[in-house]
């Protein structure tokens, strides 16, 4: 037990001898009307690397494979999933049993996000950490998730309250770590890897976003942010590199216009195979 231990295991990610089998299980049960087969977290050690893009595209990839997919947007204060799919704030309903009904995209992907509950997408969510973490648990427990094969959880950056809540409260089957090619990539990946290991969460692999720009004339790949070191970093932790995604204006345009599910890109094929293989 740590000398700074408060005795409250629910707010701690450490594994120590003072925990009992009963204490270490904080899984929040789904409501009786819901069913989710696999839960995949999409994480990063810092913001702005493209977690929401990877989350959206993986959900689309698995939907195109014939699975029923869903996205739980756990980035409560910076939700961008609804915009990527062109969903408005009127997309969430309520059942007679007071369960929230998620919004459904044009191809059938279910989405629950804070921005679907606000009067305006630009309204800020000014909540403290425990309240935000509680909202994530509500999205999991009080939403009607019907026969979902794969749920993707878009998490906020870092290793704070929300990632801890997701790892402890949801039955996460694996995570995908998203990063970018800057020099601090080793630290970014290390933080995510170390948290996952402390929480005993399997890591499926690493996706490097903004890896390069491809010249439209000659096809040459230009490393805008410097040469990638993702292979060495991933090898250090025994992880596969699942994708190296380019900077592509067409992808950015499709996301801004709410058309992410109509993008035809091969970048995340290997990542989708890793998810399917769980």
Residues in binding site for ATP: 45-52
Query: Which class for 262: exposed (0-12), middle (13-18), buried (19 or more C-beta within 10 A)?
Result: exposed
18-41 CB burial, b ≥16 within 10 A, e <16: eeeeeeeeeeeebbeebebebbbb
- The owner of tokens 């995340």 is 268
Binding site: which residues?
45-52
Of the candidates 274, 278, 276, 264, the one whose C-alpha atom is nearest the C-alpha of residue 60 is 264
Q: Are strands 213-214 and 241-244 parallel, antiparallel or unpaired?
A: unpaired
CA 22 – CA 111 distance, rounded (Å)? 32
């Amino acid at each position: 037990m740590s000398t700074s231990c408060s005795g409250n295991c629910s707010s701690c990610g450490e594994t120590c001898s003072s925990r009992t089998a009963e204490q270490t299980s904080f899984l929040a049960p789904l409501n009786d009307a819901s069913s989710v087969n696999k839960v995949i977290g999409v994480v990063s050690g810092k913001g702005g690397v493209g977690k929401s893009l990877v989350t959206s595209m993986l959900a689309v990839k698995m939907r195109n494979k014939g699975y029923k997919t869903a996205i739980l947007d756990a980035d409560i204060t910076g939700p961008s999933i609804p915009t990527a799919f062109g969903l408005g704030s009127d997309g969430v309903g309520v059942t007679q049993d007071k369960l929230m009904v998620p919004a459904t995209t044009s191809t059938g992907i279910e989405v629950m996000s804070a921005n679907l509950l606000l009067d305006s997408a630009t309204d800020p969510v000014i909540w403290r950490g425990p309240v935000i973490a509680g909202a994530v648990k509500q999205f999991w427990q009080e939403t009607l998730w019907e026969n979902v094969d794969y749920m993707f959880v878009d998490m906020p950056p870092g290793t704070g309250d929300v990632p801890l809540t997701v790892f402890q409260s949801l039955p996460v089957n694996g995570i995908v770590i998203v990063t970018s090619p800057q020099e601090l990539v080793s630290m970014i990946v290390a933080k995510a890897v170390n948290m996952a290991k402390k929480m005993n969460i399997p890591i499926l692999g690493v996706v490097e976003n903004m890896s390069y720009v491809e010249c439209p004339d000659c096809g040459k790949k230009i490393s805008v942010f410097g040469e990638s070191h993702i292979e060495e970093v991933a090898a250090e932790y025994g992880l596969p590199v699942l994708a190296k995604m380019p900077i592509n204006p067409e992808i950015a345009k499709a996301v801004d216009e709410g058309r992410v599910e109509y993008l035809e890109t091969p970048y995340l094929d290997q990542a989708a195979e890793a998810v399917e293989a769980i």
